[in-house]
């Protein structure tokens, strides 16, 4: 899939710069490790086995705190909440860097960065990966109870099919639903056109009448599909794989309008009091066998190229986790919006969430 990420980076992110590891200089004298480290992440998004292994080796207790949306995470950091490592989507990083909220990573303490695939390095949202380490990536698609739908589900637009009123489950997450609405209308998920965003709002309001919200604090959207409460939902590879284990009729569809590719990064907030310990933790996560352990347990693709030999072949060869090139011809990735564009997206979301059903 090397060609795909290179093409996306050039066409959508404004190009690549040099793909080598961040410049190295003499390794400093190690600082004492902190007794505890606070990891701020999606619920269930890091295997406990990995955290336990870090604690066993370094004697550092990892305190896991979770957020419901990336917007919540950004707001918490802006409010001064203290975390040592945060998992953050690509599109949120530039504004956080601009506002001085992310620490510059000392790569002398993260030599395992060399394991990151060149396709994920030095993208324009964070040149030289000065403040972010690429982590997981994957597709967004539709989860379908194939035995309960009246005809094959193939498009984002099928979320609005009146035949499934009350049987559509959606996550109330701005960075997911608003792009899906835009995509279903044939617009870019990164649109800043007020008319297109108004059309997306109308689309979302129509969806609100057709769907029910699934608690964003839940780890997976599989339960309502398994029970038959929902017949269509949107989700990710983890949902698809765990779903088919519960019910073989749960299938994953990459919509004809094009899937949405997401990417998450590991960052260190500027106010972390344990920056060195956080860097040691990043380096630990970038060990090939540790990154592979994350993939094997969470079923999300990882940017660590050196991890591939350690990934379970069944997972590595699963097209839900590592999709074939032909399945990604119409992908789009979320890009950082301008300040005005972000304001428009936020206002659309507020109006949507505030509207009665």
Query: Residue 25's pLDDT is what?
Result: 56
Cα 97 from Cα 154, distance rounded (Å): 38
Domain count, the chain: 2
Shared domain for 250 and 336, answered yes or no, is: yes
Shared domain for 153 and 276, answered yes or no, is: no
Shared domain for 103 and 35, answered yes or no, is: yes
Residue 291 lies in a domain: no
Find the farthest-apart pair of alpha carbons in the chain and give their distance in angstroms, rounded.
Answer: 65
Shared domain for 15 and 151, answered yes or no, is: no
Residue 45 lies in a domain: yes
Query: Residue 21's pLDDT is what?
Result: 53
Shared domain for 53 and 185, answered yes or no, is: no
Query: Residue 219's pLDDT is what?
Result: 81
Closest CA to 240 of 145, 106, 119, 157: 145
Query: Residue 203's pLDDT is what?
Result: 97
**Sites in the chain below the pLDDT cut of 50:** 1-20
Shared domain for 116 and 58, answered yes or no, is: yes
Shared domain for 61 and 121, answered yes or no, is: yes
**Residues spanned by the domain of 275:** 2-131+268-286
- Label residues 95-104 b or e (16+ Cβ within 10 Å = b): bbbeeebbbe
CATH code for the domain of 160: 3.40.190.10
Closest CA to 204 of 156, 276, 252: 156
Query: Residue 107's pLDDT is what?
Result: 97
pLDDT tens digits along 10-60: 334 443 333 445 655 565 667 799 999 999 999 999 999 999 999 999 999
Query: Residue 132's pLDDT is what?
Result: 97
Q: At what angle do helices 288-298 and 275-285 cross, to 10 degrees?
A: 70
Query: Residue 144's pLDDT is what?
Result: 97
Shared domain for 61 and 159, answered yes or no, is: no
Shared domain for 193 and 114, answered yes or no, is: no
Query: Residue 76's pLDDT is what?
Result: 98
Shared domain for 347 and 211, answered yes or no, is: yes
Query: Residue 75's pLDDT is what?
Result: 96
For residues 127 and 20, the answer to whether their CB atoms sit within 8 Å is no
Closest CA to 277 of 40, 63, 61, 33: 33
């Amino acid at each position: 899939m090397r060609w795909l990420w290179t093409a996306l980076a050039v066409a959508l992110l404004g190009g690549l710069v040099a793909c080598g590891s961040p410049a190295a200089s003499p390794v400093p004298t190690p600082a004492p490790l902190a007794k505890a480290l606070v990891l701020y992440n999606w619920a269930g998004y890091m295997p406990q086995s990995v955290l336990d292994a870090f604690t066993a080796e370094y004697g550092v207790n990892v305190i896991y705190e979770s957020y419901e949306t990336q917007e919540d995470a950004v707001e918490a950091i802006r409010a001064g909440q203290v975390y040592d490592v945060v998992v953050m989507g690509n599109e949120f990083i530039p504004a956080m860097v601009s506002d001085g909220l992310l620490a510059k990573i000392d790569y002398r303490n993260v030599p395992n960065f060399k394991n990151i695939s060149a396709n994920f390095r030095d993208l324009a949202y964070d040149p030289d990966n000065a403040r972010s380490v690429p982590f997981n990536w994957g597709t967004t698609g539709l989860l379908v109870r194939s035995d309960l739908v009246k005809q094959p589900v193939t498009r984002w637009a099928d979320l609005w099919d009146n035949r499934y009123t009350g049987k559509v489950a959606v996550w109330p997450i701005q960075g997911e639903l608003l792009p899906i609405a835009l995509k279903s209308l044939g617009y870019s998920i990164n649109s800043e056109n007020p008319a297109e965003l108004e059309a997306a709002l109308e689309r979302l309001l129509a969806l609100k009448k057709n769907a029910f919200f699934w608690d964003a604090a839940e780890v997976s959207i599989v339960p309502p599909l398994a029970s038959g409460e929902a017949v269509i939902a949107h989700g990710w590879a983890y949902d698809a794989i765990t779903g088919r284990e519960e019910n073989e009729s749960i299938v994953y569809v990459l919509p004809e309008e094009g899937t949405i590719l997401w990417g998450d990064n590991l960052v260190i907030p500027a106010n972390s009091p344990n920056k060195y310990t956080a860097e040691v933790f990043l380096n630990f996560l970038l060990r090939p066998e540790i990154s592979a352990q994350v993939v094997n347990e969470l079923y999300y693709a990882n940017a660590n190229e050196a991890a591939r030999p350690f990934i379970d072949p069944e997972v590595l060869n699963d097209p839900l986790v590592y999709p074939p090139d032909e399945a990604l011809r119409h992908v789009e990735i979320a890009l950082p919006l301008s300040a005005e564009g972000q304001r428009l997206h936020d206002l659309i979301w507020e109006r949507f969430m505030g509207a009665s059903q």
